[in-house]
Amino acid sequence: ELKVEQNPLFLSMQEEKNYTIYCNYSTTSDRLYWYRQDPGKSLESLFVLLSNGAVKQEGRLMASLDTKARLSTLHITAAVHDLSATYFCAVNGNEKLTFGTGTRLTIIP
């Protein structure tokens, strides 16, 4: 059974600081996703990572994938208040998408 662990669960950051969210998964997978969710809203796709060593960047967010370590990271650079949200990683295995528990990110001015 595929298990996905995210840490930290909660993260309070000051603006302009850098931080990383970690996503570990238990079995081999060919796809890893990062999503953002604002309170009361649906999930917004951020990144799809398809291969070992994949790195994708959008604005202040950068995601990477190490399939050998079964680890993905979401790096936040110079955080701004607009990035406050809950971030989920999800891993595809046997046609099922398994989610981590999410990281609630709060950016403090």
- Taking the complex as a whole, how short is the minimal distance between the CB of residue 78 and other proteins, in angstroms? 27
- Taking the complex as a whole, how short is the minimal distance between the CB of residue 106 and other proteins, in angstroms? 16
**Which residue's CB is nearer to other proteins, number 49 or number 107?**
49
**Which residue's CB is nearer to other proteins, number 6 or number 64?**
6
- Taking the complex as a whole, how short is the minimal distance between the CB of residue 12 and other proteins, in angstroms? 17
E runs forming strands in 2-79: 4-7, 10-14, 19-25, 31-37, 43-49, 55-58, 61-66, 71-76
CA angle 42, 43, 49 (to 5 degrees): 170
Task: Write out the residues near other proteins by the rule CB under 8 A.
Answer: 31, 33, 41-43, 45, 48, 50, 88, 90, 92, 95-102
**Which residue's CB is nearer to other proteins, number 3 or number 81?**
3
Q: Following DSSP, what letter does each residue of 50-67 receive, concatenated?
A: -STT-EEEETTEEEEEET
